[in-house]
Amino acid sequence: MKQLTRPVTGRMLAGVCAGIGEHLDVDPTVVRLVWAALTILSLGTGVLVYIIAWILIPEVPQDPTVTLPPA
């Protein structure tokens, strides 16, 4: 069973729409367009829902075996 997470790559703002798109096997652009339309039609309520989703949906866990080169 897939877990709803926010990806680190392929995201525009916080990765909420990209995570929902991955979870539903839908292109994230479609999710973004639907989200924008619902936000406009609901007089901005979608912005509040997006912020709540940003807080509640966890990011994809990072692989601890991957090390980044020193800066």
Candidates 17, 9, 10; CA nearest to 63 is 9
What's the confidence (pLDDT) of residue 30? 95
pLDDT value at 51 more than 80:
yes
Helix (H/G/I), strand (E/B), else coil: 59: strand
Distance CA(18)–CA(12), nearest Å, equals 8
pLDDT value at 71 more than 60:
no
Distance CA(20)–CA(5), nearest Å, equals 8
Instruction: Identify the band that residue 62 occupies on the pLDDT scale cut at 50, 70 and 90.
Output: confident
pLDDT tens, 28-39?
Answer: 999 999 999 999
Helix (H/G/I), strand (E/B), else coil: 20: helix
Supply the angle between the helices 16-24 and 45-56 in degrees, to the nearest 10.
80
